[in-house]
Amino acid sequence: MPSLSVFGAQWGDEGKGKLIDFLAENQDLVVRYQGGANAGHTVVVEGEKYVLHLIPSGILHAEKVNMIGPGVAVDPIKLLEEIDGLLERGVHVDGENLRLAAGAHVIFEHHKRIDGLSELWRGKGRIGTTGRGIGPCYADKAARTGLRVADLLDPTRFRERLGAALAEKNALIERVHGEAPLNVEEQIDLYVSMGDRLRPLVADVGAEVRRAYREGRSILFEGAQGVMLDIDHGTYPYVTSSSTGVGGIAGGAAFPPQHIEEAWGIAKAYCTRVGEGPFPSEIFGEAAEALRKAGNEFGATTGRPRRAGWFDAVAVRYAFDLAGASGWIMTKLDVLSGLEEIPFAVAYSRGSERWTEYPAHLASMDDVQVELETLPGWSEDITGVRSFDDLPATARAYVEHVEKITGVPIVMISVGPGREAVIRRSS
Ligand code: IMP
């Protein structure tokens, strides 16, 4: 496929890493265009588990080119840790198969500090961020006070600019938050040395992606987080700070949007969310605990237990509509095995109001209730199933019904963590 966008259609953690690794097999380039090390994409290859935070999930395939686009917020410490971790495990990573955009903004130590301190300051209104400095870095980008990867490679200019930025950030850390300031010289030296290590990877990634497309090479755009966490379209302010959907590709990968041929959403057969904020189909108590356990729903980045709930057709339809999705992949269907019946949300209501389309105009979703329907479950272990026809009849009925109410064809179903645990329906 010449160009394919794969994005999360829920609140993140839909299992994108595994599917992107799977789909990368047939694509030449894998490009990240937003977010940063807040993402945690888990990929299992031949029983070996890899968790990728910044490096695109195509890195586990030989001969794929992986690109970190200008819209990504790059923490050089995390990136180098990730590179070293992969090298230690024998994965090939160098300036040939990993390219880093010169224009990507850099996450510094002060961004991470301020991320944590602002959360404390917000108290009950906290967002529940991953603490990776994402919000403060994108805030600096928008305020035009950020520094980019290219700046790391020019020590004289970098010294001056980081010095100026830290003068302000240290005042904030010290005078507003009452914490010890960062040592300016130490910070400058630390990041200059990282710039030296990253230098061989740095490129004009946008130009390279566009050139690859012109030359007929195939591209996979790897979304991180999910549409319901999108800065513009998600459950604001309980969102991340980037454009997580297909809309983020134009700016974040410097790629003309009219050349994006296919957009595939990824959604679990149920739903989870980490951090604070609205989650209309959330469940609590034993049922939530059972789902969390069966699906191993603990954050790949922070280890936090994820909140659990049922598939929400209203939110997923909204995500597909925003993306113009041409297909979607249902993940973790195997996790529902053993349930007597499977509930899923088909509408929202509040008092006398009712919505079957996502009510993005509401200031708050706090009092919104979901309307659930149910279908019969199945008891068989389906992790070994590779053909749709071999699924239990009730599992097929669930998939087909959910497909119908989302209005977008399901192209694949994932039934286990391994690369091979996939049922293809069409492509
Ligand atoms: P931030 O992106 O760290 O600022 O966090 C903002 C919100 O997005 C919080 O609710 C996080 O839990 C959530 N979030 C960020 N990255 C991910 C992810 O990769 N998966 C799921 N949730 C995420």
CATH number of the domain enclosing 127: 1.10.300.10
* Residue having the nearest C-alpha atom to atom 20 of ligand 1: 12
Report in angstroms the alpha-carbon separations of 89 from 93, 142, 198, 301: 11, 38, 20, 19
CA distance between the termini of the chain: 10
Q: How far apart are CA 412 and CA 327, in angstroms?
A: 9
Respond yes or no: is residue 111 known to be catalytic: no
Question: 229 with 191, same domain?
Answer: no
Q: Is the CB of 86 under 6 A from ligand 1?
A: no
Question: 217 with 138, same domain?
Answer: no
Q: How far apart are CA 40 and CA 19, in angstroms?
A: 13
Q: How far apart are CA 128 and CA 37, in angstroms?
A: 15
Nearest to 409 by CA among 216, 263, 221: 263
Q: Is the CB of 13 under 6 A from ligand 1?
A: yes
Which of 112, 129, 239, 302 to mutate to test ligand 1, by most ligand atoms within 8 A of the CB atom?
A: 129
Give the count of beta carbons closer than 10 Å to the beta carbon of residue 94. Answer: 10
Partners of 350 in the beta sheet? 353
Residue 298 confidence (pLDDT) above 60: yes
Task: List, for residues 48-63, the tens digit of each pLDDT value.
Answer: 899 999 999 899 998 8
Which atom of ligand 1 is the closest one to the Cα of 224?
A: 19
Partners of 307 in the beta sheet? 273
Is 372 among the domain residues? yes
Question: 178 with 218, same domain?
Answer: no
pLDDT reported for residue 301: 75
pTM of the model: 0.96
Q: How far apart are CA 256 and CA 219, in angstroms?
A: 13
Question: 358 with 378, same domain?
Answer: yes
Residue 351 confidence (pLDDT) above 80: yes
Q: How far apart are CA 380 and CA 108, in angstroms?
A: 49
Nearest to 162 by CA among 135, 205, 191: 191
β 262-268/327-331 pair status: parallel
Question: 196 with 225, same domain?
Answer: no
Question: 63 with 117, same domain?
Answer: no
Q: How far is CA 171 from the centre of its chain?
A: 33
Q: Which residues neighbour 26 within 8 Å (Cβ) at sequence distance 6 or greater?
A: 1, 218
Q: 239 with 138: CB under 8 angstroms?
A: no
Rounded to the nearest angstrom, the distance between the alpha carbon of 225 and the centre of ligand 1 is 7
Q: How far apart are CA 80 and CA 361, in angstroms?
A: 42
Residue 427 confidence (pLDDT) above 50: no
Respond yes or no: is residue 41 known to be catalytic: yes
133: tokens are 């400095």
The one-letter amino acid code at 99 reads: R
Question: 295 with 419, same domain?
Answer: yes
Categorise residue 165: left if φ over 0, alpha if ψ from -120 to 50, beta otherwise: alpha
Rounded to the nearest angstrom, the distance between the alpha carbon of 130 and the centre of ligand 1 is 6
Partners of 106 in the beta sheet? 74
The larger pLDDT score, comparing residue 62 to residue 9, is at 9
Residue length of the chain: 427
Confidence bin at 290 (pLDDT 50/70/90): very high
pLDDT reported for residue 130: 94
Task: List, for residues 81-140, the tens digit of each pLDDT value.
Answer: 999 999 999 999 999 999 999 999 999 999 999 999 999 999 999 999 999 999 999 999
Which atom of ligand 1 is the closest one to the Cα of 40?
A: 19
Q: 78 with 109: CB under 8 angstroms?
A: no
Go through 182-199 and write b for each residue having 16 or more CB atoms within 10 A of its CB, e for each that does not: bebeebbebbbebbeebe
Question: 181 with 230, same domain?
Answer: no
The one-letter amino acid code at 403 reads: E
Residue 366 confidence (pLDDT) above 90: no
> Is the peptide bond preceding residue 278 cis, with omega within 30 degrees of 0?
no
Burial class for 152, CB neighbours closer than 10 Å (0-12, 13-18, 19+): buried
123: tokens are 């108290």
Boundary (domain end) residue, out of 171, 200, 229: 200
Is 92 among the domain residues? no
Report in angstroms the alpha-carbon separations of 141 from 104, 248, 286: 10, 15, 43
Q: How far apart are CA 133 and CA 151, in angstroms?
A: 19
Which of 7, 16, 229, 297 to mutate to test ligand 1, by most ligand atoms within 8 A of the CB atom?
A: 229
* Residue having the nearest C-alpha atom to atom 5 of ligand 1: 129
Is 97 among the domain residues? no
Is 132 among the domain residues? yes
Rounded to the nearest angstrom, the distance between the alpha carbon of 38 and the centre of ligand 1 is 6
Boundary (domain end) residue, out of 153, 171, 200: 200
Is 17 among the domain residues? yes
Is 368 among the domain residues? yes
Question: 313 with 339, same domain?
Answer: yes
Name the catalytic one among 21, 41, 110, 151.
Answer: 41
The one-letter amino acid code at 345 reads: A
Average pLDDT on 341-358 reads 97
Residue 304 confidence (pLDDT) above 90: no
Count of domains for the chain:
2
Q: Which residues neighbour 274 within 8 Å (Cβ) at sequence distance 6 or greater?
A: 11, 12, 13, 128, 299, 302, 304, 306, 307
Q: Is the CB of 235 under 6 A from ligand 1?
A: no
Question: 68 with 161, same domain?
Answer: no
Is 19 among the domain residues? yes
Is 96 among the domain residues? no
Question: 274 with 325, same domain?
Answer: yes
Q: How far apart are CA 265 and CA 228, in angstroms?
A: 12
Q: 113 with 153: CB under 8 angstroms?
A: no
Which atom of ligand 1 is the closest one to the Cα of 229?
A: 8
Average pLDDT on 383-389 reads 97
pLDDT reported for residue 426: 65
Q: Is the CB of 275 under 6 A from ligand 1?
A: yes
Boundary (domain end) residue, out of 168, 200, 232: 200
Q: How far apart are CA 4 and CA 23, in angstroms?
A: 10
Q: Residue 19 maps to which CATH number?
A: 3.90.170.10
Q: How far apart are CA 173 and CA 171, in angstroms?
A: 6
- Reduced to 3 states (helix: H, G, I; strand: E, B; else coil), residue 205 is helix
Question: 21 with 144, same domain?
Answer: no
Q: How far apart are CA 14 and CA 140, in angstroms?
A: 29
For residue 132, what are the domain limits? 105-200
Portion of the chain with pLDDT greater than 90, in percent: 91
β 29-32/219-222 pair status: parallel
